[in-house]
Amino acid sequence: MAPPAALVRSARQLWQCQWRLLMGGLGPADGQGRYRRPAGAFTALPPVPEDAAEAGSHVLIVGRSCPWAHRAWITWSLRGLAPMVDTVVVVPDPDAGRWRFSEPFEGCATLLELYRRCGADPRARATVPALYSRRTGTILVNESARLIELLNAWPAAPEAPDLAPPADLPAITAWRERLQGDVNDGVYRCGFARNQTAYDEAEAALFAALGAVEAALAAGGESGGWLCGGAGPSLADVVLFPTLIRMELVYAPLFGCSRRPLWQLPRLWDWRRRFHGLEGVAATCFPDAWRTDYFGALFPLHPSGIVPAGPDLATLVGSPPPAAPGAPSR
């Protein structure tokens, strides 16, 4: 027997009130219901440390499920920085809503403890990635956009790629700015929107940006394999990949980023396949952790905590299926 209509209305109103309260803690929004990413704690770009080339002098702290940490992890891998910069992987603690170390690090059990010990504002969130200096006992930077720039300038082997060659900097900067707002933050603006208008705005910007990437890759022809047209990937490619590789696994089903399946953007699909095939990139991808952490931890978006089945990662980095005639519409 169906519950009385009055009970359903009351339950819905109560849940919406609780949902808005929980969402305020998960992802703050402006007065129009648009998600706004909070500022970090260590955001300034520091100079390359004097001891940067010393083995084990620095530690890159990352989390497997975090796309912002993923971009730093990829940069570290592509640049071949393992001999100089160690990595430590933190794991989520959904009940406490924080990252913790699998083993104590510098005497700290959680990332929050390390942040506080390094002088972070007590109101600041303890997030990944973070670059820690063992010599000074401080976090140098945790803003991923600045951190990947620092890692690209880090002393590396002569054969290490420059992910921001001077000739391509204008294009790299332009793409990074658009991708950061419309794609990297864009999927969160879809998922954390407080109302239909905020969602529609974010979703339209997201797929417009993906369409622009598809057009740019197509304009490059057979020789334009990377976003800025160079012989290899740039920081623009680096920041795009963590979002795109999570699209079908997380962002489409959980955040509502499902207007157009990626296989209908064949240049972008091929770009993702080739980027995943770069040496060291696959080792930074953990699809099971992505799905478990997103579906299991984001309670306001997925209260059941059930982790649904999803496509195997191998099917997303291979050849696309034949495109259906016409593009879907809304």
Are 286 and 65 in contact, with CB atoms under 8 Å apart?
yes
- pLDDT tens for 117-167 read 999 988 888 999 999 999 999 999 999 999 999 999 999 999 999 999 999
pLDDT at 224: 59
For the chain, strand residue ranges (E) read: 58-63, 85-93, 98-105, 108-110, 130-133, 138-141
pLDDT at 40: 78
The residue among 81, 45, 50, 72 whose CA lies nearest residue 130 is 72
Task: Please write the tens of the pLDDT for every residue from 77-116.
Answer: 999 999 999 999 999 998 777 899 999 999 999 999 999 9
The string of pLDDT tens digits covering residues 223-235 is 458 999 888 999 9
Tokens 């990595």 -> residue: 87
Residue 125: phi and psi, rounded to 5, are -80, 150
Q: Residue 323 pLDDT > 70, yes or no?
A: no
Which of 56, 58, 49 is closest to 83 using CA atoms? 56
Q: How deeply is 228 buried, as exposed, middle or buried, from its count of CB atoms within 10 A (0-12, 13-18, 19+)?
A: buried
Supply the DSSP symbol for 18.
Answer: H
Residue 72 pLDDT class (50, 70, 90 cuts):
very high
Q: Are 285 and 276 in contact (CB under 8 A)?
A: yes
3-state secondary structure 271-290: HHHHHHCCCCCHHHCCHHHH
Q: How far apart are CA 282 and CA 52, in angstroms?
A: 26
- Global pTM reads 0.91
- 246-249 LR contacts (CB < 8 Å, sep 24+): 246/67, 246/187, 246/290, 247/187, 248/310, 248/311, 248/316, 249/287, 249/290, 249/291, 249/310, 249/311, 249/313, 249/316
- Helix ranges restricted to H, 79-143: 111-117
**C-alpha distances in Å from residue 214, one per residue of 152, 259, 272:** 26, 15, 11
Q: Which amino acid is at 190?
A: C
Among 104, 115, 105, smallest CA distance to 139 is for 115
Q: Say yes or no to pLDDT of 206 above 80.
A: yes
292's tokens: 């478990």
Calculate mean pLDDT across residues 279-285.
98
- pLDDT tens, position by position, 3-48: 677 766 666 665 565 546 555 656 778 888 898 888 778 989 999 9
pLDDT of residue 73: 98
